[in-house]
Structure 1
Amino acid sequence: MIRFEDFLKHTKAQLDDNQRKAVNVLNNCVVSAGAGSGKTTVLSYRFLHLVLERKARCDEILTLTFTRKAAREMHQRIHRHLLSCREDEEIAQQLETFSEVAISTLDSFCATVVRSDSVAYGVPQDFVIDDDKNLRTIGRVATELLDQYPQSPGAKLLSELYTPDSLIDTVLVPLASSYYCLPKTVEEDGAERILAAVEDEYERLLAQYREMLTLYASFTDKGNTVQGYKNDAQMMLSKMDALEGKAALHSLLCSSFAHRRAPGNGKTEDIQTIKETVAVYRELRSKLCMALSIMLAQDQLYAVMDFMRDFVDRYQKEKRSSGILTFADVSNLAVTMLTENKALRAFYKKKFRYIMIDEFQDNNAQQKAMLYLLAERTDREGEGIPLPEDLQKDKLFFVGDEKQSIYRFRGSDVRVFKQLSGELASIGGETITLGRNYRSEPDLIGLFNTMFVNIMQNEGESFEADFSTLDYRNASPGVQSSCTVLIKPYREGGEDEEEEDASSVEAEAYAIAKLVRQMLESDAYLIPSKEGPRRPVASDIALLLRSTSNQLSFEKAFRRFNIPYTVQAARSLMLEAPANDLYAMLQLTLYPDDRQAYATVLRSPFCNLSDWAITHVVQEPLFSILPSLSEDDAERLAACGAFYQRLHQAVGSESLSTLALMLWYESGYYLSLVSNPQYQVYVEHFAFFHRLAQIQEEQGKSVSQFVDFLRRNLVQNEKIDQLEVIKEQESGLQIMSIHKSKGLEFPIVIVGNTGSKGRGGGDYLSTFLDIPLPHYLSTSYHISATKQAQIRHAGTLFAGSEEQDMEIAELKRLLYVAMTRAETHLILSGAFTKNNRGLDPSKKADTLLQMLVESLPLDRDNPVYDEGILKVRPIENIPEHYLYSGEREDSSQVIARLQIAERWYEQATPAYEGHPIRVATTKLHPLVHGGEGEDLPRYPSDMILDGYAEEQVTGFGTFVHGLCEQMVLGKEVEKLSSLMPDSLTRVLKAQELAALQEDALALCRGFLESEWYEKEVKPYPVECEVGFFSAVEQEGKTLVAEGAIDLLVKQNDTYLVIDFKTDRRRDELLHRFQVETYMQAIERIHQCPVRGCVIYLRDPSLVLVWEGESV
């Protein structure tokens, strides 16, 4: 019999004290395993310990991992360890059935549970898991329901609140796929619960708001500021007491009445009271507006609830009938089954004596519930999820690291892992910390300790990770680790002052590529190996990015320095030449008359024809061999033509993936690329292109549909979903997202583009009270005299700043994960821009770069530092041509090339004398004055503009239009000058510009405070600058009128077209033609009554209105 200690002696394995303690523990345990602390070793050795010490057989241990790769690695490790103990007869016997041991992902185990009882939940036992097919099913069901005639009230409302694409792709698809997983349905009393919560909150807010008004109304200070607040409070109380009903109160509170700026530097007691309470006062009023808006829109809430009930019901029926589920369905069903089916729960409780789960920081409450169900005491069969006291005391073994929880967007919740220790400790459980990092060099660990003590400092929030100092191993002999920080400071006057300067991210990419080339060619960045210190090769280096949106800039820079690289996400696939060439050949196969595609094929590696030859053959029949062609060009054209014929025949019978292989290999395209060192980086693109063809093939797409897909996506810098390729080995510098790097390690890590803010998720859904819904209203309310906000769902009423704080907390963890991938050398780079400098001390750092600068700390305007292993250097501007290899052509070379291609520029036919068919609406009619107009009030700015040209007068009108539209939409304008056209800012003096801004504000406020605005605009949805094209007849010709409507107001079943005018004279005839053209266009587009009007902002009481019948 072989014991665990015998195994350690035989293999000479060494465990530190905490690792040994974790391996030997027999109570419920939470292991906090830091980066590089050997958690995989601990998990595999604990499995071995349980088996060798006869605590359990292999098939009595459930081991769960986060990824399939981790499960395979764990299976192989444990199997290898047991093989070394096969002389033990009992171990040898268990090895015979080791392939059946439960080492899998949590998703895979959930599927096994669900198959045990799926029929009882209306799901066939042979169900399959396919998230992609489900997404397509959701889109189809949603489209059918929205297109159903007549539309339901809910469908009609949602169609008004969202654009068609966003309604399906960003609202209904996420709701069905992430929230309404089997067997969850839309709650019957969901609307009542929401309204009850809002009603309670409303009563509380109203009482507090009245108290605040009463306080302000009692002020005794005689100063103007205090008296203004006092008078407003008294008038507000008086108006509120006189009102009847919530609708009237809503109208009052949402108006611009009684909004004042915060007081200045006064020091009286009343002033201090206002300063301390004005933020609360404003929040109370805003939240009352929200609560009233929701209560007054309850019909809309019920309509959306009915729509969602129908939508989810149809989608789930389709899933059950097809037997195609999602991973989320399976996880949800597994918990439901184990909760409700006690016999099934008892079976699994008995089957597994021990449960070990890895990476638990990336799980959530539902997954914890499933593990608690499996760990329930055998003498208990309680209802619902077991409490900690109902658990067996020695069954659960959790491994995770709260500092590495970075999958919140997938539903993980770091709070669950943090709470585990306390819950299990209450029943005698233990917590063990693996604090020694065996991955990184000691000097790097010292830097991590210095930085993350500051970065992860918190006030004890449950969603924050707590950092404790990391221990370290011995240093590698002969190697000096380093940390290099490259920062591009922000310079006032814009990023690209010189026309030919590269952008900030391109300058950063260039600096990184230049440094990588230095790493590969010098001894400055040696790394350890079995043979001793050595220079790194490209595959020893990884570039990690928060998002891959700027990946192309780094690829371009690496190609410039001939650095081989490999990518995890083919962000640049559709931006580069290979995809365009492959598309062109397929396009030409389907559409032989497409001369642009033909020219692309001739110039591409498919043919590599000379410029002279292309100009002479491109208009001839396809692949015609002209006598004037050189022998080389003729051979190339003939070979390409022969391949084209083979491809043309194959299109009718072969699969998309086979066609892709033909394009790449049989055509000679691949050989052409690898023959040129500069193009070898493109070879990897084919793996992604081939995978894309396979995906389209699996979806049943035809060749023409595949070509349409390629055409839509060419030159788009977008990541194509689900496009991942498994590679046997990585042969160059690896570019990947930080999330993809989780669990990996590299001798040299570059964390690039740290100044990126990432992409905001957007507020498209409501999950208030755990009732997932789309938005169900869009009501505006004033938050100041000029600014407005909108309420779209009840969740906004109860939302605090916690959501943003949770995002920033995860960003800290993302930086920790990125930096701790490094073994020997770490490089951090980023650029400061106008919008990411973090100059407001009251706001938390929201970029990785800002966190770096604040933790070290560094001077963001002069980033220079050199001490110990840390070196900080500025990134300099570079000319854009630095990013392109090769010598630049001189003028004689350019002229020579143009002469060769002279045929392109020959004018074969006389120039066609064209007449414009698209005209602006303002040019459709002659300027006819009515003659009966009247002068409107003048403003100080008029005298200023009188001294300038018509261009400046027009510019002022443009400025007022833009400002008025922003104010109508309730958008905050930080700097009025940002809206002023160049025709004003480059000519007028600062004092004159200030006067124009003051008059513009007065004109806009006059409109927003007018009775007409309150009645005709404010209560309704509004769109600004609505562009359109409309066919009109003029002088016997059909023209396309192009225009933009200042404001388009949807008034129930009628549209109101509004045109602003800053003219100094009121002239009905002059402006009527333009407005009527707008009205005719909207009437044709929407097929409903339309009214039109002109608003003279100098006197908003003068409104010219035309009814639809008069058009």
Structure 2
Amino acid sequence: MITFEEVLAKTKRKLDENQLQAVNCDTNCVVSAGAGSGKTTVLSYRFLRLVLEKKADCDQILTLTFTRKAAKEMHERIHAQLLQFKSDPYVATQLSKFPDAEIATLDSFCSKIVRCDCTRYGIASDFSIDDEANKKNAQLCAQALMEENTFGEGARILAQIYNPEQLIDEVLVPLATQHYYLPKILDPGIVQPILDAVKTKYKEILDSFYQLLLSYEGFTASSKAVQSAREAASILLPAFDASDDYGVMLSLLGSSNYFWTKPGKGSGDDIDLLRETSDSYKAMRKQLCLALSILTHGQSLASVLAFLCEYQKAYQREKRKTGILTFSDVSSLAVDILKVNPSLRSYFKNKFRYIMIDEFQDNNQLQKDLLYLLSEKEELCNGGIPSYQDLQKDKLFFVGDEKQSIYRFRGSDVSVFKQLSSELKQNGGVALSLSTNYRSEPELIALFNSLFPVVMENHGESYEADFAELGSRAKKDAIEASCTLCIKPFDSADQDEGEDELAVGVDSEASAVALLMEKMLHTDEYLIPSETGPRRPEPKDIALLMRSTSSQLSFEKALRRYGIPYTLQTARSLMLEAPSNDLYNLLQLTIYPEDRLAYLGTLRSPFCNISDAGIVSILESYEENPLPFGTNPVLSDDDASRFEHASHFFSQLKDYVKTKTLSELVMHLWYESGYRLSLVTHAETQVYLEHYSFLHRLAQIKEKQGFGLSQFLDFIRENLGQNERLDDLDVIKEQSDGVQIMSIHKSKGLEFPIVFVASAGTKLMNKGSSLFAIQDTVIPYFMKNSFHETEKKICVTRGLKDFFDSGEEKLREKAELKRLLYVAFTRAETHLVVSGCFNRMNRNKNGDDSADNLLLLACNGLGLDIDSLAGKNTFVQVKRIEDVSEKSLYARKSESPASEDEGFEQKSDWYRQPLEEVDLLPSRYGVTTIFGVSEEAGNEALRLPLLDCDALFLKIVEQEKKKNPMQKDPYSPAADFGTLVHALCESRLLGENLPDERQLIPIPLARRLDEREKKQVLADASSLCDNFFACDLYRRFVQDTSFKCEVKFFSVVEYQGREVVAEGAIDLLVETPNEMLVIDFKTDLYKKAEVHARQVLTYLQAVERLYGKPARGCVTFLRQCGNEVWWKTNIDEK
């Protein structure tokens, strides 16, 4: 049997001393793994070591990650490592168990626990997880309850404090979705403990205030301020002694009386004391008034809490009824189930011998409790959360980096990760560190080591991250790393008067950034390493990161102006640009043909491209017959031809919208109309090509939410012209060909040769929240009371937050800002650029000494004067961003009147050419369309076992024929059933843990099924998957090999007398040392392999071209696997 040491000797990857120490650790351990330190390598090699040393089987190690992408990467890496040594009998045995290895996200694992005992909470085991659907349910529950309780006291109070939109969207929905998760139940009895807490703090402040008044009572000096203080004491002290009535005390302390001006000059004991304590007097008096406001509104608090209890019950009833939960529900339920179900807790404790958790700095106390429950000593099973003394001493292995905890908005808490080290060390565990950064050049590491000790300096607060010096790798040959600060200093002077107005700061910054990128791309000043030596960077080697994408549009425009391609992770400008408007206009006409504006937009868009004169003629005839493309206007030959083609396409589209899904419609408009080709034709519009990814994704999201076309158009209409980020519309790309623009949060886990941290001077406008958590209960505002904070200034208080908030929330936000800077900087491999503008609001000249934006943080850490831009760090180059004229923002680089005229003439000549006849036949087909089953099953085909859902599908077909008797190709569910089976097989092959397999049912089929029918279809699909995993084909060729699922390809073939592109996806592609194996799944009722031979041949030819190996393939009929026929590229050779 091969040993782990032999594996290390044979693999190319060499582990450093710290990595080896972590891999070989056999006690509870917390590994602090900095950016680029190889934490994924450590986790995968530790998994391998535990298996090879027979400490655990593959299915006895629980490996948890933060994202599905990370789980998939971990799964593939560990599997690939084991496959290298599959000839070893023990490794082969472990490979057979690897499909059962639990490598998943924490959310999906929690879902698995909850499904074991969810009926205890009245939840069906086939529940689904959908945060968006839950948000809608919360809105509906809130609206219904407010209507039912219009005259209820709690509803009345809330309606007086908040406007209706605020109350629903900013109070009740966040309370329900973020705080009132299952199985938590609000306790109305919490009111008294809250009031008791207020009273306790009130008495503490009152005692200090009373003592201060006693000192004022003894004043003898004659100054006006001293006399005012003595008078205040003489009135307030007897009042405190005489009455405990909170209302009386509030009217006294909340009045405009008993204030004075803080002494400026003068001396003497009384004046000195008053000068020192006047601010304290006002602060304590304000705190007393805040407390008294709460205590006099105790009944209002009780009424609001009673209303919230009703709301929570209604919302949780809806959850149980619909079976739709949130991720927070699942996490909380999983912990509760393990606490109250000893047998299930014991099962999971015994199932997993080791637990490894990645990115734990992004988790919270609830998730820590879950892991402690799973790691409790076997002989124990106490009711609550185990203490660290009750944990097994060698089960837990945490990996994380407190400096990269940047997800507070998702509930992560860096203090939980920091606390782990001390707890586990007290129980025999260890805390290790992976300090070497293998990503960045040594010069950048030296910069980080000088910058971040200053930035991250703290006084031991639990929410602060501690920075430790980073180690570095060897310098790459002939590579000179760099760090550049591009800064526009604050200028208090007004703009110079002149012919050209100056652009705003962010536009000037964007122009400077684009100019520097152009220099990087076309000179040798910013070389980056490659396998063949130093080279100039390409656009895809550059990332432009921003804390907020609010100014993204300015950078997009600047990059377009300089002809630099880019790609987006978040399309803020999606609804501002032409593609969204063009697609909206054409789809709008299919439902609302009378929309004149949409018709005009369509005529001018690339869908028609009609000239101005042509549009005038069309609109004149349109007045007589107001239907799109319903007239025969007098047009030039060119316009007439375009109009005819557009009319034909629109006629087809009107039929398409009746049967196609939203995503299919978007794809049809983008590709089949020629719209994409129109963008490709012009360099300046090619940047819009990736808008398709966002529009298609938006259509998919709205499909999932049950939107029809009219609702989809309503949504787009509301957002057109808005420079806003659309929620959940982020598209992650494996490969990008342009500058990658994304938020810093999206860049986490990625690395780039060149990083721009742009718009670094931006301050996020935090509106704050009216919600406040006290004694594990979150409460909104429940009153509106005012009092005098000074003689003239009035303070309005609405709830507990004003009284209890100590300002820690702001300190936590600033602590995360420091970590955000660290994450942004450590994405860079070779060159780092920081750009930003200082203005009147972000320099913090008159505030405290803490920075509230990334640019000021960096400047302060580097010792850079933000006015003169002078600094001491010689490695950092500082460049001043100069003003640019607003006119220059709308001109392309190097554009001149002469070049404009030349370009116009060239384009005019091209447009004057006669329009060639256009072949409207598609140029791309699916392989199954070209080589579909052309022969009848007949007597030669073997009939396979029937499924229960076959009868259901026949019923659907009959219903479709009745509904649309004239339709040429009525909907058939068989193809969608095949898609479902393929998706299930792929999911199981890749070891994915799906929270809800119903999501895999294609939308057209799901729409036609009720819940019972969905369960039946899923059960039948699952049985076909089981057939495959139990068959000889899987055991012989797939189980212990390297494979890929759904491998997409394009191939040129001859079809209908012309060359076309055949597009296909290979269900399962297995790579062996000598050949490639293609396995195609079929769910057909009749087995006749020969009818699929041409399809398989196309797959084989494509695979041999792509991989350079001989290939053979087969079709396996999942209703009855076995006796597969294999083909080679010579179709007659089997």
TM-score interval, normalised by the smaller of the two chains = 0.7 to 0.9
Q: Which amino acid aligns with 1:874?
A: R
- Kindly report which structure 2 residues correspond to 1:59-458, keeping only aligned pairs within 5 A, or say none: 59-148=59-148, 150-238=150-238, 240=240, 245-458=245-458
Shift in Å, 1:237: 3.3
In structure 2, distance between residues paired with 1:268 and 1:563: 71
1: CA distance, partners of 2:426 / 2:494: 59
What is the rounded CA distance, in whole Å, between the counterparts of 1:497 and 1:116 in structure 2?
73
Partners of 2:691 and 2:50 in 1: CA distance: 47
Three-state SS of the structure 2 residue aligned to 1:204 is helix
Q: Which moved more, 1:440-449 or 1:872-881?
A: 872-881
The C-alpha deviation readout for 1:255-279, integer Å capped at 9, x for no partner, is: 2222334332444333332333223
- Give the 3-state SS of the residue equivalent to 1:736 in structure 2: strand
Mapped partners of 2:55, 2:275: distance in 1: 67
Post-superposition Cα deviations, 1:728-754, rounded to whole Å, max 9, x if no partner, equal 421211111111111111110110111
Residue 490 of structure 1 contacts residue 861 of structure 1 at CA under 8 Å; is this kept in 2? yes
Q: TM-score, normalized by length of structure 1?
A: 0.78
CA deviation string 1:365-408 (max 9, x = no partner)? 11111111111111112220111111111111111111111111
The residue that corresponds to 2:636 in the other structure is 630
- Compared CA separation, residues 376 and 761, structure 1 to 2 (3 A): farther
| Residue equivalent to 1:506 | 507
Residues 646-725 of structure 1 aligned to structure 2 (within 5 Å): 646-725=652-731
Misfit runs of 4+, over 6 Å: 495-499, 624-627
What residue in structure 2 maps to residue 785 of structure 1? 791
Pair 1:378–1:497, CA change in 2 (3 A): farther
Distance across 1 between alignment mates of 2:707 and 2:573: 23
Which of the residues 836, 843, 851 maps onto 1:845? 851
Deviation at 1:238, TM superposition (A): 4.9
Aligned to 1:832: 838
Q: Which amino acid aligns with 1:727?
A: K
| Distance change >3 Å, CA 841–CA 159, structure 1 → 2 | closer
Deviation at 1:650?
2.6
Matches within 5 A, 1:1004-1015: none
Q: For structure 1, which runs of at least 5 residues remain unmatched after alignment?
A: 901-1111
Which letter maps to 2:619? V
Deviation at 1:477, TM superposition (A): 0.5
Partners of 1:99 and 1:578 in 2: how far apart?
44
Which residue number corresponds to residue 593 of structure 2?
592
Equivalent residues of 1:119, 1:125 under 8 A apart: yes
CA distance in structure 2 between the partners assigned to 1:864 and 1:598 by the alignment: 58
SS in 2 for 1:85: coil
- Give, in whole Å, the separation in 2 of the partners of 1:608 and 1:493: 48
Deviation for aligned residue 1:74 = 0.8
Secondary structure of residue in 1 paired with 2:463: coil
TM-superposed CA distance for 1:460, in Å, is 1.2
Task: Provide Cα deviations, 1:79-108, integer angstroms capped at 9, x if missing partner.
Answer: 111112223211111101212101111111
Mapped contact 1:361–1:417 kept (Cα < 8 A): yes
Which amino acid in the other structure matches residue 559 of structure 1?
A: R
Return 723-732 or 750-759, whichever deviates more: 723-732
**Structure 1 residue 666, shift from structure 2 partner:** 2.3
2: CA distance, partners of 1:481 / 1:875: 22
> 2:337 corresponds to which letter in structure 1?
M
2:10 corresponds to which residue?
10
Secondary structure in 1 matching 2:775: helix
Q: How much has 1:587 moved relative to structure 2?
A: 2.3
Tell me how many residue pairs correspond in the alignment: 896
> Which of residues 624, 628, 645 in structure 2 aligns to 1:639?
645
Taking the aligned partners of 1:18 and 1:868, their CA distance within structure 2 comes to 32
Residue 577 of structure 2 aligns to which amino acid in structure 1? E
Report what 1:45 is aligned to: 45
Letter in 1 for 2:26: L
Asked if structure 2 preserves the Cα contact closer than 8 Å seen for 1:587 and 1:597, the reply is: yes
Q: SS in structure 1 opposite 2:312? A: helix
Matching of residue 575 in structure 1 with residue 581 in structure 2 = no
Q: Name the structure 1 match of 2:23.
A: 23
Determine helix, strand or coil for the equivalent of 1:767: strand
AA aligned opposite 2:763:
K
Q: Distance in 2 between matches of 1:59 and 1:494?
A: 69
Measured after TM superposition, the shift of residue 761 of structure 1 is 4.6
Note the C-alpha offset of 1:150: 4.3
CA-based RMSD: 2.2
**Shift in Å at residue 248 of structure 1?**
2.2
Residue 30 of structure 1 aligns to a residue whose secondary structure is strand
- How far did 1:214 drift? 1.7
Residues 621 and 631 in structure 2, CA contact (< 8 A), matched pair in contact too: no
Taking the aligned partners of 1:462 and 1:267, their CA distance within structure 2 comes to 43
Q: Given residue 573 of structure 1, which amino acid in structure 2 is its aligned partner?
A: L
CA distance in 1, matches of 2:230, 2:497: 51
Secondary structure (helix, strand or coil) at the match of 2:192 reads helix
Code of the aligned partner of 1:530? E
Q: CA deviation at 1:63?
A: 0.7
Verify: 1:490 aligned to 2:490, yes or no: yes
The answer to whether the 8 Å contact 2:225/2:260 transfers is no
Structure 2 counterpart of 1:978: none
- Secondary structure of 2:832 counterpart: strand
1:565 corresponding residue in structure 2: 566
Q: Structure 2 CA distance, aligned partners of 1:613 and 1:233?
A: 87
The CA deviation at 1:48 is: 0.9
Question: Which secondary structure state, in structure 2, belongs to the residue aligned with residue 749 of structure 1?
Answer: strand
Corresponding residue of 1:727: 733
Displacement, 1:573?
0.4
Range with bigger deviation, 591-600 or 527-536: 591-600
Q: Which residue in the other structure is 2:465 paired with?
A: 465
Q: Secondary structure at the match of 2:2?
A: coil
Partner of 1:540: 541
- Aligned to 1:804, the other structure's residue is in SS state helix
Structure 1 residues 493 and 255, CA gap change in structure 2 (3 angstroms): farther
**More deviation in 696-705 or 421-430?**
696-705
Match of 2:866 in 1: 860
TM-score normalised according to structure 2 size? 0.77
Cα gap change, 1:211 to 1:399, in 2 (>3 Å): same
Aligned partners of 1:774, 1:802: CA distance in 2, in Å? 19
Distance 1:125 1:458, change over 3 A: same
Matches within 5 A, 1:723-762: 723-762=729-768
Q: Are 1:194 and 1:794, in contact at CA under 8 Å, matched by a contact in 2?
A: no
Amino acid at match of 1:214: L
Percent identical residues: 51
Letter in 2 for 1:123: I
1:317-376 CA deviation, whole Å, 9 max, x = no partner? 111122111111110001101111111111111111111101111111111111111111
8 Å Cα contact 2:569/2:732 also seen in 1: no
Structure 1 position 725, deviation (Å) = 2.6
- Where 1:593 maps in the other structure, the secondary structure is coil
- In the superposition, relative to structure 1, how do residues 265 and 607 fare at CA in structure 2: closer, same or farther (>3 Å)? farther
Corresponding residue number in structure 2 for 1:474: 474
Check 1:260–1:651 CA distance in 2 against 1; reply closer, same or farther (3 A cut).
farther
Letter in 1 for 2:602: V
C-alpha separation in 2, matches of 1:85 and 1:272:
82
For residue 1094 of structure 2, what is the aligned residue in structure 1?
A: none
SS at match of 2:30: strand
Q: CA separation in 1, counterparts of 2:337 and 2:242? A: 57
> Which digits, 9 at most, give the CA deviation of each residue in 1:800-834, with x for residues without a partner?
12111111001000000000000000000111111
Going from structure 1 to structure 2, the CA distance change for 1:436 and 1:214 (only over 3 Å counts) comes to same
Query: In the aligned structure 1, how far is the partner of 2:276 from the partner of 2:27?
Result: 53
**Could you report, residue by residue, the CA deviation over 1:472-518 in whole angstroms, capped at 9, with x for unpaired residues?**
11001011000010011111145797662111111111111111111
CA distance in 2, matches of 1:112, 1:299: 43
User: Following the alignment from structure 1 to structure 2, what is the Cα–Cα distance between the partners of residues 36 and 265?
Assistant: 59
Query: Residue 768 of structure 2: SS of its match in structure 1?
Result: coil
